[in-house]
Amino acid sequence: MNTKLVLTLVRETAKIYLHEHQTISVSNDLPSWLLKNKFAVYITAYDYNGSIRSQAGYHIPKQISVAKEIITNTINCIKGIGKYKPILLTELPGLKFKIDIIVELILCSTICKINPLKEGVLIIPKTKKVGIALPPQTSSDIMLSLACQQALVDQLNDTYLIYRLKTKQFSE
């Protein structure tokens, strides 16, 4: 998997969307792993301070290919879904992007089996609002706490499933 290629796809998608309000097409010139595989993708934009400016993605694939997943979630990140405000064209040069391609979900019995530096965590409570925390984090406990906060569940008293996420990361 080519880091430069993935980051270029994200940057070009963001630039075209912000300049022209258009969605770029998936080029057939892209490598087959981007065109033929279906993996979930999570896009995070960081501001000049290294703080999360916006993020978007899913824990399961929603599109027909990784390339389409990257394009769709980059645009959703730019649009500012949920608690995030839309990103402005003037902000784009100062942003850094991180792309997490979720290549495997593994049901876990406990959080201790997760390496917080290399793997993510997904929790699925009865409420069906999932929580996700992506690497790197300082500990698996912090990772679980972040995912529970996102899913609006009580970490100690609510019932939920824990999944370990194996990801391939690309970042600027």
Phi, psi of 158 (to 5 degrees): -90, 160
Q: Are residues 17 and 92 in the same domain?
A: yes
Report helix, strand or coil for 165: strand
Q: Are residues 94 and 135 in the same domain?
A: no
| Number of domains the chain contains | 2
Q: Are residues 83 and 111 in the same domain?
A: no
Q: Are residues 34 and 68 in the same domain?
A: yes
The predicted structure's pLDDT at residue 1: 64
Position with higher pLDDT, 81 vs 152? 152
Q: Are residues 133 and 76 in the same domain?
A: no
Percent of the chain with pLDDT strictly greater than 70: 99
User: 71-82 burial by CB neighbour count: b if 16+ within 10 A, else e?
Assistant: bbbbbbbbebee
Domain containing 141: what range?
104-166
pLDDT tens, position by position, 86-98: 999 999 999 999 9
- Per DSSP bridges, beta strands 52-57 and 96-108 are unpaired
pLDDT over 90 at 28, yes or no: no
pLDDT tens, position by position, 62-121: 999 999 999 999 999 999 988 899 999 999 999 999 999 999 999 988 777 788 998 999
**135 closest CA partner among 124, 126, 144:** 144
Per the prediction, the chain carries an average pLDDT of 92
C-alpha to C-alpha distance for 158 and 168, rounded to whole angstroms: 30
- H-helix segments, the chain: 3-20, 32-36, 66-79, 140-151
Is position 120 within any domain? yes
pLDDT band at 143 (very low <50, low <70, confident <90, very high): very high
- Domain end marker among 100, 124, 148: 100
Exposure of 6 by Cβ count < 10 A (0-12 exposed, 13-18 middle, 19+ buried)?
buried
